[in-house]
């Protein structure tokens, strides 16, 4: 049986976390040495974006979902619920839910394998000077004249930098081309174009 068919039948063609039917996608609950159908869930795209830390965490959104989804009989849904509850463990509703939640030893080991529960749950995103989230491929405008280190290039205020790339290990930096030269730019000196 195809994975998608398996998940649609198991979930009733609904998000296995929130019960909606729109924008569904298959999400593999990692890590695992072997990819098994049981280690996948059918969930909403917004859930995926939050789980993968591609957008700011929304406690109100999850508060309505997790206290119900944690009781699922599907181990992959239990694991996702446990991981997300741990991101919000400083919120009273999440701490209460974690106190009530039970996972068998094997499922708990799987849930802890990502190490996600050890962090503070914050999401580090690249943001421009106004707090707008930047993604690869965006166009930004310089808000300040910048001298480029190791070059005679001076990038002027108002210069558009197209098709930026995010520096993955530093949320305060992006890469882009100015006058044909690739440079690293601090995000606090750019404004995202609409």
Q: Domains plus CATH for the chain? A: 3-118 (no CATH), 140-192 (2.30.30.40)
Average pLDDT, the chain: 89
- Mean pLDDT across 87-95: 93
pLDDT for 119 equals 61
State both tokens at 163.
């098709």
Residue 8 has pLDDT above 60, yes or no: yes
- Report pLDDT digits (tens) over 36-49: 888 999 999 999 99
How far apart are alpha carbons 80 and 70 in whole angstroms?
8
Closest CA to 143 of 157, 156, 159: 157
57-to-52, 136, 162 alpha-carbon distances in Å = 10, 20, 28
- Report pLDDT digits (tens) over 124-134: 778 899 988 88
pLDDT for 176 equals 92
pLDDT for 115 equals 74
- Mean pLDDT across 144-155: 85
């Amino acid at each position: 049986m195809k994975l998608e068919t398996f998940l649609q039948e198991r979930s009733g063609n609904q998000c296995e976390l929130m019960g909606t039917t729109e924008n569904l996608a298959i999400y593999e609950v990692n890590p695992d040495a072997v990819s098994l159908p049981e280690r996948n869930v059918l969930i909403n795209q917004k859930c995926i974006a939050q789980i993968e830390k591609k957008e700011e965490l929304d406690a109100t959104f999850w508060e309505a979902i997790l206290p119900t989804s944690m009781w699922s009989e599907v181990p992959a849904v239990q694991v996702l619920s446990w991981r997300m509850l741990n991101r919000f463990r400083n919120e009273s509703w999440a701490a209460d839910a974690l106190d009530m939640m039970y996972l068998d030893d094997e499922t708990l080991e799987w849930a802890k394998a990502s190490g996600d529960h050890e962090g503070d749950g914050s999401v580090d995103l690249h943001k421009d000077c106004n707090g707008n989230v930047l993604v690869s491929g965006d166009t930004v405008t310089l808000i300040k004249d910048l001298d480029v280190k190791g070059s005679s290039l001076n990038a002027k205020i108002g210069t558009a930098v197209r098709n930026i790339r995010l520096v993955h290990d530093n949320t305060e930096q992006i890469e882009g081309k100015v006058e044909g030269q690739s440079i690293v730019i601090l995000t606090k000196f750019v404004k995202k174009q609409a």
